[in-house]
Amino acid sequence: MTPYYTGSHKHLIAIDCIIFGFDEGELKILLHRRKFEPEKGKWSLMGGFLQPDESIDNAARRILKGCSGLTNLFMEQLYTFGETDRDPGERVISTAYFALIRIDDYNKELSLETTAHWWPISKKPALIFDHDKMVEMALERLKIRSKNRPIGFELLPRKFTVPQLQSLYEAINRRNLDKRNFRKKILSMNLLQKLNEKEKKTSKKGAFLYRFDKRKYNRLAEKGFHFEL
């Protein structure tokens, strides 16, 4: 480590994670009460400071693992927030990431964090600093991604029904979709494998379960696709 850049000012860098889940037909976000000053006790995104020896992506992975117990989550850098006064404690630059979790996977690892809570997006409390703006931006990004990546599936259980998948898309895009058009389009991608089981909790008739075809899923996850309704 040669001192090439001595004289230049250094900064604190935080990583904040917007973590989405989907449960009971609602899009939810994982928040916790901040553990230190300033704004101690207020609702906040999951976050932490960047350490000297980790890349920012790895810092995000560390934070995600710390609050969910899970690794290999879908995760994507969102934006870097750099207003001088965004943190009243001290100047901190924050790079935000958004991530997707299957809530039932999360529940299995009974979360250590008892201060954490899944909030339905529509009822979430006000957050500290510029975290509300981060959430807003993440929702926007999620909407875009739902149209060009098969990310919806990162949020559902491994087996799911078509109506469940539809209600996820409806939650993300905040509008109702025609079920005939939805089914037609999603099935025409040959991305779903129909199983011989039915989910019978939500209706008397029961709905067939599906899972996604890993090969096609992975290809679409890289190349992108187009799913507009």
Partner DNA sequence: CCAAAAGTGTTGACCGTACACCCATGA
Partner DNA sequence: TCATGGGTGTACGGTCAACACTTTTGG
Phi and psi for 184 in degrees, rounded to 5? -55, -50
Least gap, CB of 133 to DNA (angstroms): 29
- What is the spatial distance between Cα 63 and Cα 151, in angstroms, rounded to a whole number? 21
**Residue number with CB closer to DNA (80 or 181):** 181
* Binds a copy of itself by CB under 8 A, chosen from 19, 31, 46, 50: 50
Evaluate whether 163 touches 18 at the Cβ level (below 8 Å): no
The item of DNA, a copy of itself, none sharing an interface with residue 50, based on CB under 5 to 8 Å by kind, is a copy of itself
The half-sphere exposure of 224 on its side-chain side, counting CA atoms within 13 A, is 6
Say whether residue 71 binds a copy of itself (CB under 8 A): no
What is the closest distance, in whole angstroms, from the C-beta atom of residue 175 to a copy of itself in the complex? 17
Measured CA to CA, the distance from residue 16 to residue 60 in angstroms comes to 8
Residues 6+ apart with CB under 8 A from 47: 14, 15, 16, 17, 63, 94
Where does this chain bind DNA (CB under 7 A)?
161-163, 178-181, 183-185, 200, 202-208, 226, 228-229
Q: Which is nearer to a copy of itself, 158 or 174 (CB)?
A: 174
Position 84 contacts a copy of itself (CB under 8 A): yes
Identity of the residue, 9 or 180, whose beta carbon is nearer to DNA in the bound complex: 180
The token duo for 3 is 């001192």
Task: Kindly state whether residue 228 participates in binding a copy of itself, applying the rule CB under 8 A.
Answer: no
Among the listed residues 170, 215, 176, 172, the one whose alpha carbon sits nearest the alpha carbon of residue 192: 215
Alpha helices in 45-122 (DSSP H): 56-68, 103-108
Applying CB under 8 A, among 35, 49, 202, 224 the residue interacting with a copy of itself is: 49
Q: Which does 195 bind (CB under 5 to 8 A by kind): a copy of itself, DNA, none?
A: none
- CA dist., res. 134 & res. 140, Å (int): 10
Closer to DNA by CB, 34 or 145: give it: 145
CB of 226 to a copy of itself, least distance (A): 11
92 binding a copy of itself? (CB under 8 A)? yes
